């Protein structure tokens, strides 16, 4: 399989990268609504480890099918960080958070994900962004915190804190995975991270498995299948391929569209109310993240 090179991207590669990245963002946008429905019937810890186990088994099959070489010794620690961030951290923290807040409320926090990814990219890469970058960063954070506080009794501080922790974990996992994909390959990063976590996830799945599945609805099973196959694996195949083909900085901006797609899905599939204030805050956060991205270098 092809690896990411340092050669300039051709016009065709850039176009393909944008298409793949867009598909990945659309797939990820369904994660929170699907998780919201799934945790109504599944224990959030079981949901987290079960989705990682199913995706890990598929990732193992892909690596075996394409006879991928093992990562180098210095690539294992970054893979551990990716696994902790996107295989365990983000799914578990969001599943716990969605017991306290709606998926529409949580999607506003996802507007901070591109900024979190950029900040960890700065920390990991040693870049020195302009001061304007930090102005947009603080403004975007203030919008999210202000929105959470303005919800009063309708929101949960526990859910908000869990969502913030989830965004930090995912941002670190994205930044580390994007950096690693340059040498290891795009889809290979998520597959190896899933395989690395598979023994622990499989054991925890057996431990947290419900005594009976008789009361689980078809909707909950469908949501589990979605977050296992699409959110945990297939979405990353398109996402990392897009980053490799079109460039991490450019294609990464497509994450700014995710809150809009997520709010639309929350309204149409989960039938949650999306207020004008929620849309306004999401738009404001997206504008702040876009400004921070612009001045990141």
Residue 12 lies in a domain: no
Q: Is 152 left (phi over 0), alpha (psi -120 to 50) or beta?
A: left
pLDDT for 243: 74
Residue 265: CB atoms within 10 Å: 21
What range does the domain containing 198 cover?
A: 30-207+217-294
Residue 181 lies in a domain: yes
In which residue are the tokens 């622990």 written? 200
Does residue 7 register a pLDDT over 60? no
Residue 6 lies in a domain: no
d(CA 86, CA 17) in angstroms, rounded, equals 21
Residue 249 lies in a domain: yes
Phi, psi of 124 (to 5 degrees): -75, -35
Q: What count of residues does the chain have? A: 297
Q: Is 71 left (phi over 0), alpha (psi -120 to 50) or beta?
A: beta
Write out the two tokens for 97: 């958070």
Structurally, the chain folds into a number of domains equal to 1
Average pLDDT of 264-284? 77
Most distant CA atoms of the chain, gap in Å: 56
Contact 256, 230 (CB under 8 A): no
pLDDT for 81: 95
Write out the two tokens for 156: 């949960």
Residue 239 lies in a domain: yes
Which of 181, 235, 215 has the alpha carbon at shortest distance from 51?
235
Contact 56, 212 (CB under 8 A): no
Distance between start and end Cα atoms, the chain: 32
Residue 14 lies in a domain: no
pLDDT tens, position by position, 189-225: 999 999 999 999 999 999 999 989 998 999 999 999 9
Higher pLDDT, 100 or 10: 100
User: Which DSSP symbol is given to 282?
Assistant: H
- For residue 194, the Cα-to-chain-centroid distance in whole angstroms is 14
d(CA 140, CA 156) in angstroms, rounded, equals 20
pLDDT-derived band of residue 57, with 50, 70 and 90 as boundaries?
very high
Residue 84: CB atoms within 10 Å: 18
Residue 169: CB atoms within 10 Å: 22
Pick the most confident of 56-65, 177-186, 259-268, 277-286.
Answer: 56-65
pLDDT-derived band of residue 109, with 50, 70 and 90 as boundaries?
confident
Q: Whole-model pTM?
A: 0.83
pLDDT for 72: 93
Does residue 263 register a pLDDT over 50? yes
Residue 13 lies in a domain: no
pLDDT-derived band of residue 21, with 50, 70 and 90 as boundaries?
confident
């Amino acid at each position: 399989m092809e690896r990411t090179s340092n050669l300039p991207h051709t016009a065709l590669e850039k176009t393909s990268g944008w298409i793949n990245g867009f598909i990945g963002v659309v797939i990820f946008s369904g994660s929170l609504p699907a998780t919201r429905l799934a945790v109504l019937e599944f224990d959030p810890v079981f949901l987290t480890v079960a989705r990682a186990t199913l995706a890990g088994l598929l990732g193992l099959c892909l690596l075996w099918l394409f006879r991928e070489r093992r990562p180098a010794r210095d690539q294992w620690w970054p893979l551990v960080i990716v696994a902790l961030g996107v295989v365990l951290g983000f799914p578990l923290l969001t599943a716990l958070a969605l017991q306290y807040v709606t998926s529409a409320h949580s999607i506003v926090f996802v507007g901070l994900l591109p900024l979190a990814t950029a900040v960890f990219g700065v920390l990991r890469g040693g870049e020195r962004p302009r001061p304007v970058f930090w102005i947009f960063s603080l403004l975007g954070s203030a919008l999210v915190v202000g929105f959470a506080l303005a919800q009063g009794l309708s929101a949960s501080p526990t859910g908000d804190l869990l969502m913030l922790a989830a965004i930090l974990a995912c941002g670190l996992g994205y930044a580390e995975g994007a950096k690693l994909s340059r040498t290891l390959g795009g889809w290979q990063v998520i597959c190896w991270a899933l395989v690395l976590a598979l023994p622990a996830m499989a054991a925890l799945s057996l431990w947290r498995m419900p005594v009976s599945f008789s009361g689980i609805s078809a909707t909950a099973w469908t949501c589990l299948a979605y977050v296992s196959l699409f959110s945990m694996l297939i979405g990353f195949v398109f996402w990392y391929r897009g980053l490799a083909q079109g460039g991490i900085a450019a294609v990464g901006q497509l994450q700014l569209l995710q809150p809009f797609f997520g709010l639309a899905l929350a309204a149409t599939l989960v039938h949650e109310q999306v207020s004008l204030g929620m849309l306004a805050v999401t738009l404001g956060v997206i504008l702040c993240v876009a400004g921070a991205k612009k001045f990141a270098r």
